[in-house]
């Protein structure tokens, strides 16, 4: 299997084989991260621009570090300090970056479809770092990578995604990756945030949190995306925590060796109790560490690299 895509825009359009290839290459990069010298030269001479038009901590730093570890030159660009604030269009911004020889644009944008739009004319490679409520492909990849590393497989696992599904790009990328790799996906949260339409994608939908967590091999908790909700979707955060937050009693229903996951940022005491976030079954910080390896793999493959060509 070889990689021959110019961009990474979503996981919906990837095949199971392509996803598996990224996970296999990420494994090679994880080994690089455990060496004394953590840097390789595969992106030497390339310029990577982090174009973040929406806030981010983990994803931006992770892409920056991934590009630096591959020896690329990296430019960080935030909307607040740019001509986007003066009315320049996204298309013009990217054309200007290309004139300065940007090879990769990593885009985080509040509008769903923004990276797809750029990919229609861009000469550089576009990587989606989260577009509105649509997708966050590298988050989906690092989540399945973390599960596969811990459990040795994805097929047949019972994975529950609990929280704001409707407005979550992390949910969508996870759902595509997990279903393509053969997991059984259950979605749960308040009915206003977990519409039945997801059943048409092949997921199980339940609004009963006990049913959702009972026997699950993995539970992935999602933050309420207040910034995207145009109206109140449930009475209060306190009520959400009481009805859907992962607490000790609910966690005791999970499979004894279940993984507790969260893409961050965590709202402690809302979607997850603090002790569980820091507890034995939590792999939240492992997800962050794996994100680096996954992003190195994505940059390497999109640059035309192949597995086994890392040195």
3-state secondary structure of 261: strand
Least distance to ligand ASP from the beta carbon of 196, Å? Answer: 23
Cα–Cα dist 226/185, whole Å: 24
Give 34 or 80: the residue with its C-beta nearer to ligand ASP.
80
Residue 268 DSSP code: B
Nearest approach, Cβ of residue 307 and ligand ASP (Å): 28
Q: Count the helix, strand and coil residues of the chain and give each as a percent rounded to the nearest 5.
A: 40, 15, 45
Closest CA to 137 of 250, 50, 13: 13
**Alpha-carbon distances of 265 from 54, 71, 230, 241, 288, rounded to whole Å:** 14, 28, 21, 16, 11
- What is the side-by-side order of every strand in the sheet holding 259-261? 204-206, 184-188, 158-162, 218-221, 259-261
Residue with tokens 């490679």: 125
Give the shortest CB-203-to-ligand ASP separation in angstroms: 19
The 10 Å Cβ neighbour count of residue 248 is 10
Q: 41-56: b or e for each residue (b if 16 or more CB lie within 10 Å)?
A: ebbeebbbbbbbbbeb
Q: Please, what is the minimum distance in Å from the beta carbon of residue 289 to ligand ASP?
A: 16
| Contact pick of 69, 125, 136, 172 for ligand ASP (by CB under 6 A) | 136
Tokens of 244: 């859907």
- The distance of closest approach from Cβ of residue 220 to ligand ASP in the complex, given in angstroms and rounded to an integer, is 11
One of 70, 117, 130, 131 touching ligand ASP (CB under 6 A):
130
Instruction: Give whichever of 21 and 284 is closer to ligand ASP, judged by the CB atom.
Output: 284
Footprint (CB under 6 A) of ligand ASP, residues 230-269: 263-264
Q: How many residues bind to ligand ASP according to rule CB under 6 A?
A: 7
| 104 vs 167, beta carbon nearer ligand ASP | 167
| 62 versus 93: smaller Cβ distance to ligand ASP | 62
User: CB-wise, 126 or 284, nearer to ligand ASP?
Assistant: 284
Rounded Cα–Cα distance for residues 283 and 304 (Å): 31
Q: How far is the CB of 273 from ligand ASP (least distance, A)?
A: 18
Minimum distance between the CB of residue 265 and ligand ASP, rounded to whole angstroms? 6
Q: Which CB sits closer to ligand ASP, 228 or 255?
A: 228
Shortest spacing between CB 168 and ligand ASP, in angstroms: 7
Q: Which is nearer to ligand ASP, 91 or 226 (CB)?
A: 226
Return the number of the residue (163 or 305) whose C-beta is nearest ligand ASP.
163
CB proximity list for 31: less than 8 A, separation 6 or greater: none
Within residues 153-182, the interface with ligand ASP by CB under 6 A covers 169-170
Which residue among 223, 250, 295, 300 contacts ligand ASP (CB under 6 A)?
Answer: 223
Helices and strands: H and E segment counts in the chain = 11, 9
Q: Which residue is nearest to ligand ASP (CB)?
A: 223
Q: What is the CA radius of gyration of the chain?
A: 19
- The smaller minimum CB distance to ligand ASP, of residues 7 and 169, is found at 169
| Contacting ligand ASP within 85-124 (CB under 6 A) | none
Is-contact 168 222, C-beta < 8 A? Answer: yes
Give the C-alpha separation, 280 to 160, whole Å: 18
Q: How far is the CB of 223 from ligand ASP (least distance, A)?
A: 4
What are the residues binding ligand ASP (CB under 6 A)? 130, 136, 169-170, 223, 263-264
């Amino acid at each position: 299997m070889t990689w021959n895509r110019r961009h990474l825009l979503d996981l919906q359009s990837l095949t199971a084989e392509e996803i598996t290839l990224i996970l296999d290459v990420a494994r090679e990069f994880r080994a690089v991260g455990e060496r004394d010298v953590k840097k390789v030269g595969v992106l030497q001479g390339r310029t990577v621009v982090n174009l973040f038009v929406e806030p981010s901590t983990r994803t931006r730093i992770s892409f920056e570090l991934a590009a630096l570890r591959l020896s690329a030159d990296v430019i960080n660009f935030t909307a607040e300090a740019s001509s986007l604030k003066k009315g320049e269009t996204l298309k013009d911004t990217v054309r200007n970056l290309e004139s300065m020889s940007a090879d990769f644009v990593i885009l985080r944008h509040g509008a769903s479809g923004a990276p797809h739009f750029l990919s229609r004319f861009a000469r550089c490679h576009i990587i989606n770092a989260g577009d509105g409520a649509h997708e966050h492909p590298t988050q989906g990849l690092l989540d399945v990578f973390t599960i596969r590393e811990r459990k040795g497989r994805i097929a047949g696992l019972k994975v529950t995604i609990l929280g704001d599904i409707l407005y979550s790009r992390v949910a969508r990328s996870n759902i595509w990756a997990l279903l393509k790799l053969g997991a059984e996906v259950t979605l749960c949260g308040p009915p206003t945030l977990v519409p039945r339409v997801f059943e048409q994608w092949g997921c199980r939908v339940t609004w009963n949190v006990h049913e959702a967590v009972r026997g699950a091999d993995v539970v992935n908790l999602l933050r309420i995306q207040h910034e995207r909700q145009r109206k109140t979707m449930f009475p209060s955060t306190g009520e959400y925590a009481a009805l859907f937050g992962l607490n000790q009693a609910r966690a005791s229903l999970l499979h004894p060796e279940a993984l507790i996951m969260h893409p961050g940022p965590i709202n402690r005491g809302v979607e997850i109790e603090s002790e569980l976030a820091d507890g034995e079954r939590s792999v939240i910080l492992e997800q962050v560490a794996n994100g680096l390896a996954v992003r190195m793999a994505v940059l390497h493959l999109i640059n035309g690299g192949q597995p086994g060509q890392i040195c």
